[in-house]
Chain A
């Protein structure tokens, strides 16, 4: 019995402390391997394109964009070796338009709506990566640019739990190096955008999906270190007899430890910047956003081809910087009902405007307006039976800056425009009248040049071919030559800008013509100044009048 117990104890101890391997790690199923992707343009969620021809053109542009993006996300095809998909197809509203993949667990939806050009990558129903770039009507068109596509693919894959596919074949012995494509390999002689540096370290690992916990599990094989970055060199080739320069070559080279190669010989693995997924998301989004804004500017200006061909010199940049804006003239007549003798004079006035608005590039927000009320003269009837020779004229130069803010409903954005300017006001106007409306007293209002400050608040609705704007503005002018003299204007109204008419090219810049329309209601309060009267007291005299002008005009936009 004692022997039996002793053996029992011995076995128990042996079992507990000796000879039994300690289990290490937990198996979570198969290593994840490359899968297929479907890239879909979701036209239903995108901005509606009323014109069928334009809609067809967008689909065609999408097909190009999809092919570029799909290729950049294939195994190792993206910059610095990113790319995780084995194949891809393109579809529009779920209907396949190219590629062999009919079903895939990975789907990228592209939606182009006013809140942004959205790239939404999902695995099944799980969101995996997304990018929201500034909206433009030309979004699909500009995605034909492989350099922009590289930035988009890289930004999306950087968020993923795996970004780079690596196997033993990619490792060159005896130096144990792995070589990937450099960012700046271009069809043109210069690279257009700012791009991030290659990751200094890559973590190499196998990846499994833990079904129970719904998380990725990993086995780290090792770390690859950036050894060298070789920039591409300008090369020349002849196309149709013309000599074309372009960037060729360029690579990023990593070294890996020997034991990682041994493990790669057993099977492929994934790699990612050792900083981890999403670590540089903010910076990469900024790079992609800047690139999109830049190319959109050229596309809006019908200069996409030149931009893609690398013609972005100083002159080009200047023209691009002024992109998106218009210069126009408007002329209108007073339309409010006239009352009394003053009303007769006001009814005879007209208003001329010169308008320059910059809505893109570094000058974005700058506004210049010149308002001219040509001198209007009229003989008014005096209460004493005489004639009062009334007149009214002013000219106003205003320069301002417009800040705009997105607005969530009804209108697209609100604008706030502070302005400064010079207002020259000269008039001889009736200041009082009798019960019959006849002039009893008139005064001179020669304010000369007054310095004005103004604030304008507006709301805009922006369509593909029009801009509608409502506004309220307050201008106050203070005379520089007459103490106490001032003129104050409260205005509100609406502007309309419609693209219409022919397009023409000047200095290689295409210009479009547009029609302008507006209604302005203006209430003007003029104070003549402070003057002395006979008994030594002071008098302040002034007048308030209201006018309304309906205007039409033409503009040139670029």
Chain B
């Protein structure tokens, strides 16, 4: 209790609840097929969270959010490659973009770069002999691929031993082919707004997008048991805790736990978040 009190007063708790419930209609708007997520069980009982050790990075010195991302294990995109054309027997055509913009836009790395285009040319024999999706994932070292054909639906694939099983979702593509629109499309496709990448007690490092985290004093709903899921379905958005944004930088946000639902002792790394969307003033 004491640990949290420097940020949240009892009044803050109350406002948090109000905000939490106020979020539901918005979430419903964003995901029209989604039922209203259930609030955490027994929200009045603020559970002292049990501090767990943060994930052990392979390079202990690298404690930056990017470092956490590299070392954390979980079901969420860590490195994404954007592909415009995937023809069988041909080298994929990657989306051309400034890699520096990618670093500012989201928590996940975007593999697209002139380097990648050149590596595709250098390795054309190997890559063109592979399944298009596997080849692009292999070359880019990405775990997630977004296929953005100029016509038709866009598709999101994740690394898998079988090409047939790697497709996660297909849906109409973004209206614009710029990075903010593409990033927004990815989060909408995944049906969540952020993911817990690391934690120190009630302090959480969350991966999201700069667009989502641009508001101040954002609150967020942690989705129960979501660390075992890559994509959330409409019925899988039951809350397990309420969080509040302390600070953000690019696609990374620092959140602290306001309260956890009954029986929830902590939020595991990989927990997905539904983040409050504030309209720009």
Closest to A8 in B: B200
Query: Which of A12, A20, A128 interacts with B67 by CB under 8 Å?
Result: A20
Query: Do B252 and A16 touch (CB < 8 A)?
Result: yes
**A214-B64 contact in complex given A22-B103, A203-B118, C-beta closer than 8 Å:** no
Digitize A191-235: 1 where CB-to-B-CB distance is under 8 Å, 0 elsewhere: 000000000000101010000011111111000000000000000
Q: Give the distance in Å from the alpha carbon of A12 to the alpha carbon of B247 in the complex.
A: 12
Query: Do A15 and B63 touch (CB < 8 A)?
Result: yes
| CB interface residues, B 82-137, toward A, < 8 Å | 103, 114-115, 118-119, 121-127
Query: Do A2 and B6 touch (CB < 8 A)?
Result: yes
B70 interfacial contact with A, CB 8 Å: yes
**A205-B118 contact in complex given A5-B3, A6-B6, A17-B65, C-beta closer than 8 Å:** yes
B249 interfacial contact with A, CB 8 Å: yes
**A23-B124 contact in complex given A13-B254, A17-B247, A205-B118, C-beta closer than 8 Å:** no
Q: Give the distance in Å from the alpha carbon of A207 to the alpha carbon of B138 in the complex.
A: 18
Chain A residues with Cβ under 8 A from B254's Cβ? 12-13, 16-17
Query: Do B122 and A213 touch (CB < 8 A)?
Result: no
Query: Do B121 and A276 touch (CB < 8 A)?
Result: yes
Chain A residues with Cβ under 8 A from B33's Cβ? none
Q: Give the distance in Å from the alpha carbon of A161 to the alpha carbon of B139 in the complex.
A: 14
| CB interface residues, B 170-208, toward A, < 8 Å | 200-201, 203, 205
Closest-CB distance, B161 to chain A (whole angstroms)? 15
Closest-CB distance, B108 to chain A (whole angstroms)? 14
Query: Do A216 and B252 touch (CB < 8 A)?
Result: no
Closest-CB distance, A255 to chain B (whole angstroms)? 20
A509 interfacial contact with B, CB 8 Å: no
Query: Do B121 and A23 touch (CB < 8 A)?
Result: no
Q: Give the distance in Å from the alpha carbon of A218 to the alpha carbon of B115 in the complex.
A: 7
Query: Do B118 and A218 touch (CB < 8 A)?
Result: yes
B62 interfacial contact with A, CB 8 Å: yes
Query: Do A217 and B6 touch (CB < 8 A)?
Result: no
| CB interface residues, A 16-46, toward B, < 8 Å | 16-17, 20-23, 26
A340 interfacial contact with B, CB 8 Å: no
Q: Give the distance in Å from the alpha carbon of A9 to the alpha carbon of B64 in the complex.
A: 14
A1 interfacial contact with B, CB 8 Å: yes
A310 interfacial contact with B, CB 8 Å: no
B141 interfacial contact with A, CB 8 Å: yes
Chain A residues with Cβ under 8 A from B201's Cβ? 8
B66 interfacial contact with A, CB 8 Å: yes
Closest-CB distance, B197 to chain A (whole angstroms)? 10
Which interface residue of A13, A15, A159, A272 has the most chain B CB atoms within 10 A?
A15
Q: Give the distance in Å from the alpha carbon of A9 to the alpha carbon of B200 in the complex.
A: 9
Q: Give the distance in Å from the alpha carbon of A219 to the alpha carbon of B114 in the complex.
A: 10
Digitize B26-54: 1 where CB-to-A-CB distance is under 8 Å, 0 elsewhere: 00000000000000000000000000000
Interface residues on B, range: 35 or more
B2 interfacial contact with A, CB 8 Å: yes
Query: Do B118 and A16 touch (CB < 8 A)?
Result: no
| CB interface residues, A 294-335, toward B, < 8 Å | none
Query: Which of A2, A214, A218 interacts with B119 by CB under 8 Å?
Result: A218
Query: Do B2 and A2 touch (CB < 8 A)?
Result: yes
Query: Do B66 and A22 touch (CB < 8 A)?
Result: yes
A278 interfacial contact with B, CB 8 Å: yes
Closest-CB distance, B43 to chain A (whole angstroms)? 23
Query: Do A215 and B103 touch (CB < 8 A)?
Result: no
Query: Do A214 and B121 touch (CB < 8 A)?
Result: no
Chain B residues with Cβ under 8 A from A159's Cβ? 125
A277 interfacial contact with B, CB 8 Å: yes
Query: Do A220 and B141 touch (CB < 8 A)?
Result: no
Query: Do A9 and B203 touch (CB < 8 A)?
Result: yes
Query: Do A276 and B122 touch (CB < 8 A)?
Result: yes
Query: Do A15 and B119 touch (CB < 8 A)?
Result: no
Q: Give the distance in Å from the alpha carbon of A220 to the alpha carbon of B6 in the complex.
A: 50
**A215-B124 contact in complex given A5-B6, A6-B6, C-beta closer than 8 Å:** no
Query: Do A161 and B122 touch (CB < 8 A)?
Result: yes
Chain A residues with Cβ under 8 A from B3's Cβ? 5
Closest to B7 in A: A9
Closest-CB distance, B38 to chain A (whole angstroms)? 30
Q: Give the distance in Å from the alpha carbon of A321 to the alpha carbon of B70 in the complex.
A: 67
Chain A residues with Cβ under 8 A from B62's Cβ? 20, 23
Chain A residues with Cβ under 8 A from B118's Cβ? 203, 205, 218, 220, 276
Q: Give the distance in Å from the alpha carbon of A161 to the alpha carbon of B127 in the complex.
A: 13
Which interface residue of B3, B119, B249 has the most chain A CB atoms within 10 A?
B119
Q: Give the distance in Å from the alpha carbon of A127 to the alpha carbon of B125 in the complex.
A: 9
Chain B residues with Cβ under 8 A from A215's Cβ? 119, 123, 126-127, 138-139
Chain B residues with Cβ under 8 A from A275's Cβ? 121
Query: Do A278 and B115 touch (CB < 8 A)?
Result: no
Q: Give the distance in Å from the alpha carbon of A5 to the alpha carbon of B127 in the complex.
A: 51
Query: Do A277 and B121 touch (CB < 8 A)?
Result: yes
Q: Give the distance in Å from the alpha carbon of A9 to the alpha carbon of B6 in the complex.
A: 11
Closest to B205 in A: A16
Q: Give the distance in Å from the alpha carbon of A272 to the alpha carbon of B123 in the complex.
A: 13
**A216-B6 contact in complex given A16-B254, A20-B67, C-beta closer than 8 Å:** no
Closest-CB distance, B236 to chain A (whole angstroms)? 28
Q: Give the distance in Å from the alpha carbon of A272 to the alpha carbon of B121 in the complex.
A: 10
Q: Give the distance in Å from the alpha carbon of A6 to the alpha carbon of B5 in the complex.
A: 11
Chain A residues with Cβ under 8 A from B200's Cβ? 8, 12
Closest to A19 in B: B64
**A277-B122 contact in complex given A13-B254, A219-B115, C-beta closer than 8 Å:** yes
**A22-B64 contact in complex given A16-B205, A213-B141, C-beta closer than 8 Å:** yes
- Report, nearest first, the 9 A-B pairs whose CB atoms are least far apart: A276-B121, A20-B64, A161-B122, A15-B63, A215-B123, A17-B249, A216-B122, A22-B66, A16-B65
Q: Mark A residues whose CB is within 8 Å of B.
A: 1-2, 5-6, 8-9, 12-13, 15-17, 20-23, 26, 127-128, 159, 161-162, 203, 205, 207, 213-220, 272, 275-279
- Subset of 12 A-B contacts with CB under 8 Å: A8-B200, A8-B201, A12-B203, A13-B246, A15-B63, A16-B64, A16-B65, A16-B249, A22-B66, A128-B125, A159-B125, A218-B122
Beyond A215-B123, A215-B127, A278-B125, list 5 extra A-B contacts (CB 8 Å).
Answer: A5-B3, A6-B6, A26-B141, A161-B123, A218-B115
